[in-house]
Every structure is written in structure tokens, then in C-alpha cells.
Amino acid sequence: MVIYSNSKISTFETCPYQYKLHYIDKIEPEISQTIEAFMGDLVHQTLEKMYKDKKFKKNVSKEILIKFYRDLWEKEYSEDILIVRENEGLKADNYKKMGEKYISDYYDSHKEEDMTIIGLETQDRLTLPDGNQWHVRIDKLGCKGDTYFVCDYKTNSRIKMQEEADSDRQLAMYSIWVKDKFKDAKRVILKWHMLAFDKEITSERTEEQLKALQQEVIEAIQEIEEATKEKDFPTNPTKLCDWCGYKSACPSFKHLAEIEEMPVKEFKEDEGVKFVDEFAEIKARLSELQEKQDELKANLIEFAKQKQVDVIYGSNSKASVKEFDKIVMPEDEKDKAAFIKLMKDKGIYEECSMVCYPKLNSKVLKGEIEDEIKDKVKIEKDWRVSLSKRKDLEEE
């Protein structure tokens, strides 16, 4: 039995290598926290205080909550918190003020809330059909009669769209736990408090949808278990890497982390830098030469037509320019399918067709082909070198 959670599976889906470092190797991230996560955590703590104080009939005012938030900030903020968007002019104080606004707006919208609060930062486990367990952590759990509300505070700068809410896995899984624990629950409404926009997004799931969701989660877990068994955790570079705490340990950024610390002279002498720069230069020249070759071929053909010759002479070489016939396959998908069927009917398809290696390679590696065929081929490691622009420099 293993305990899984939405964040655990999401990490694997985002980057299998990050999953390996965090959940298998248990390596501490080099960045303790991002400013977004720090601010979000303090906002959560402040809203938790709001409802706890209400429960004990304590005086709850906006001013008290803002002071609590500010005191937390002063106590817990440290300079090692990463501000990814600092190059855009954003400072810690900008995020601090954002958090204050989120709390202020939420207080104004919910100070007269008539929902019965059952739990805050509720934590428990849900047993999945495959025997594994799912970690449950609900920001705010409330009810009105037999209607229950699973609420999540979001400090994201991007609003959650309705289609995202309707396909969200995290809160939907929590609703399964709610229905199991509270037998009187006839409805479970999922609610996201989008604090940056002072809006709420809601969604609901049918029993059929929840059953299908559990199966999807089990399949995701099986994929993780297979990757763990095969020790197959590739990197997946995306824009989210800017917020990752494992850059210096990641194969996709390890070399960058090394050269960023080098003085200019050492940087220029780095063997990797020199290899890439030379490779990029040669590739650019090859591309230019290919374009030039295509241009010269077109010029030679045009020259041969004008002069009505089929051999053109240079200083040390000569170019033969010959016109020839070639067939053009039907381009329309319907016509192409009919053409292939006709070839098969006439018994010449096998003689004229050839194996599409990229498609066969993909099907074998993805396990989408029968073992009888797969067993006839050999899988071996190879290398691919591709070139692209450094996005971190483009942003500067």
C-alpha cells in the first residue's frame, strides 16, 4: 500500500524526473520556497484563523486578520525565497500587498456566510479500489443541510475556467471521501475561491464520473509504478521549470547552473559551451548552404531550359540537367484511401509499399503492437542531438 495524492501524481505528469528526485530520492530542493507559495500559505493560515475565531465566538474583523497576516509575513519571510518574476520589477512587497487584498476581499464577501464549517485544513486518507490510499487535505469543508461544500483557496494569477473546474481531479477525489464519511450528503459541490479575482468557481460530479475518475487515478498510479520498476523518469522541460527547486540536479539544467556561476573567461573556455557554439555555427552554415544549393539547382534548370541544353559546363565540373517523369499520389484523404484500396485489390500494394519506420518505432516503444511482432525487433539505445535558442536569454 502506497499513499498517493493529487500533487504527487501531478508532479509525475509535469515532470517524471522531478517526481524521482522529490518522492523517490527524497532530495531536498535547493529553493526552499517561491514567493507565490509563501504568500499563498500565509493567506491560507489567515483564512483558517478567520473561521477558527468565528467558531470560538472571538472578535473577527478585517483589521485583525490583516495584522495577523502582516505579523506572519514579518516573522517568516526570508531572503532565500525565490521571486521568479523579479526581472519584471516585482518585489516581495508586491506579493505581500496582493495577499492583503485577497484577505480583504474574501472577508468582505464571506463575513456573513451562513455555511456550517465542518473542518479546516481537514486531513485524512481515502482507500482506493486497488488498495492504495489517497491523501485528502481540504482547505474548508462546510455544509448547508445535506449539501456539502469542498472549498479550495486559490491565489493563482490566472482564473480557473469552468471546463478546468469540471475536469479537476483534486477536489473531485475529495468529494468521494466526503460521500463516504458523511452518509447524509446528497450533493457535494466543489468550490474554488479565486482570491485574485474575488470570484468563486463551482462544479459537481455524478456517481458515474467519480467512478471513471477513480479508474483514471488507478491507471495513473500504475504508470508511476511501471516507471519506478523500469527506472524510467525522463525530464520534461517547460515554463514551469522556472519555479522548480531542482534545477542544478536536473540533466536539462545542470550545465546551465554550472556555467551561470562562471566568470566570463571560464565560461568562454567551457568545453560544453564551445561544442554547442561550434555545432550551432556549422548547422547554420549547412542550412545556408542547403538554401543556396536549392537556389543554384533552380538556376541551372532555368538556364538549361533557356539554352535548350542538358549539360552545363563549369571550370572543373559539369552539371547534367535532365527532365524526367514522376507520379504524384492523390492528396485528398478520401482519394488516397481509394487509391490504396485499388492497389490492394489488384495485388500490387505489398510490392509497392514500404515499412514506415517512424510509425513502427513509435508503436513498438509505446507497446501498441502485438508481442509476436515486437519480439522480432531489437530495442537499443541511441542518441539524438537537436538545437534550439536559449529561452532564458530571449526573455532578457
- Which domains are assigned to the chain? 3-230 (3.90.320), 276-320 (no CATH), 333-374 (no CATH)
At 1 the pLDDT is 79
At 390 the pLDDT is 80
pLDDT above 90 (res 393): no
At 394 the pLDDT is 60
This prediction has a pTM of 0.75
Q: Write out pLDDT tens, residues 147-166.
A: 999 999 999 999 999 999 99
At 13 the pLDDT is 97
Kindly list the distances between the CA atom of residue 102 and the CA atoms of 73, 92, 122, 131, 161, in Å, as whole numbers in the listed order.
15, 16, 22, 40, 19
* 73 confidence band (pLDDT: 50, 70, 90): very high
Would you put residue 57 in left (φ > 0), alpha (ψ -120 to 50) or beta?
left
* 20 confidence band (pLDDT: 50, 70, 90): very high
d(CA 210, CA 177): 11
Give the residue with greater pLDDT, 101 vs 264: 101
Angle between helices 170-181 and 207-230 (to 10 degrees): 120
Per-residue burial over 251-260, b if 16 or more Cβ lie within 10 Å, else e, is eebeeeeeee
- Bridge pairing between strands 133-144 and 147-154: antiparallel
Q: What is the mean pLDDT of the chain?
A: 93
Of the candidates 194, 190, 118, the residue with the CA atom closest to the CA atom of residue 153 = 194
* 252 confidence band (pLDDT: 50, 70, 90): very high
Please answer whether residues 153 and 146 qualify as being in contact, where contact means their C-beta atoms are separated by less than 8 angstroms.
no
At 395 the pLDDT is 54
H or E segment to which residue 153 belongs:
strand 147-154
Q: Write out pLDDT tens, residues 84-123.
A: 898 899 999 999 999 999 999 999 999 988 899 999 999 9
Please answer whether residues 336 and 330 qualify as being in contact, where contact means their C-beta atoms are separated by less than 8 angstroms.
yes
